[in-house]
Amino acid sequence: MSCATPVDSARLTDYWLALVPEAEEHAVEEHLFSCGECAARLGEVAAIAAGIRRLAQEGSLRMVVSEAFVRRATEEGLQVRQYALPAGGSVECTVTASDDLLIARLAADLQGAKRVDLCICDGAGAEQVRLADIPVHSGAGGVLYQESITYAKAAPSNRMIARLVAVEEGAAERLLGEYTFNHTRTLPGPGAFPEPPLAES
Ligand SMILES: [Zn+2]
């Protein structure tokens, strides 16, 4: 550290977000122009802010994620709601307004599975969406599925079933695990399914 009067990190963040009162903004700006060290720290603040924004946007997607993704989101201050289920398990779940990401840990023995599909089904077990050939490591004890937080926050109380299947030669399917989510809406209002039903394929 060669800067004698470093702008503190909270101040830098406020500056980046344009929350510093105009009168003080000028002083911060002047310091940043003359101090490479603090300017570089501002760059880090900007990179973190962009990372958080990207993670939050990714939170709206239905996708399979990695442990590293969940760890990074937690480290960057996002509120991650997680439910862990064994194969054949079920869970009572919900989502609150302050949750940023919603993750289901689906435990399964993936050994020997060359291609794994994740099927999202309605409460009766009818397949609605299929994530085909998801990234898995055969040594991993399961799959991390991210439900869209936007979808979950809008949804009414409902039951969803997820199925992990191994697709073998000749397209035969082997069930690796089935997971039941009994979702209770705890946000105000009755909720609605925000996505139109997917066309039959
Ligand atoms: Zn400085």
* Per-residue pLDDT, 23: 82
* Per-residue pLDDT, 160: 97
Residue 62 lies in a domain: no
Distance from Cα 46 to the centre of ligand 1, integer Å: 16
Residue 190 lies in a domain: no
Distance from Cα 13 to the centre of ligand 1, integer Å: 14
Distance from Cα 133 to the centre of ligand 1, integer Å: 50
Helix (H) or strand (E) holding 9: helix 9-16
Nearest alpha-carbon partner for 193 in 185, 201, 143, 93:
185
- Same domain for 82 and 129: yes
Evaluate if residue 1 carries a pLDDT over 80.
no
Distance from Cα 32 to the centre of ligand 1, integer Å: 7
- Mark out the alpha helices in 35-170 (DSSP H runs): 36-58, 67-75, 149-154
The domain that holds 104 is classified in CATH as 2.60.40
Distance from Cα 37 to the centre of ligand 1, integer Å: 6
In the chain, what is the straight-line distance between the N-terminal and C-terminal CA atoms, in Å? 61
- Same domain for 134 and 43: no
Distance from Cα 52 to the centre of ligand 1, integer Å: 25
User: If you search the block for the tokens 């603090």, which residue do you land on?
Assistant: 38
Residue 148 lies in a domain: yes
Residue numbers of the domain that contains 28: 9-56
* Per-residue pLDDT, 144: 95
How many structural domains are present in the chain?
2
* pLDDT band with cut points at 50, 70 and 90 for residue 201: very low
Distance from Cα 9 to the centre of ligand 1, integer Å: 11
Distance from Cα 34 to the centre of ligand 1, integer Å: 8
Distance from Cα 45 to the centre of ligand 1, integer Å: 14
* Per-residue pLDDT, 200: 44
Evaluate if residue 197 carries a pLDDT over 50.
no
pLDDT by residue (tens digit) across 34-87?
999 999 999 998 888 888 788 878 888 888 988 888 988 898 889 999 999 999
User: If you search the block for the tokens 């397209």, which residue do you land on?
Assistant: 171
pTM equals 0.74
pLDDT by residue (tens digit) across 139-188?
789 999 999 998 999 999 999 999 999 999 888 999 999 999 999 999 99
Distance from Cα 122 to the centre of ligand 1, integer Å: 56
**Burial zone of 75 (CB within 10 Å; 0-12 exposed, 13-18 middle, 19+ buried):** exposed
Distance from Cα 102 to the centre of ligand 1, integer Å: 39
Pick from 119-128, 131-140, 189-198: least confident: 189-198
* Per-residue pLDDT, 195: 61
Distance from Cα 103 to the centre of ligand 1, integer Å: 40
Residue 69 lies in a domain: no
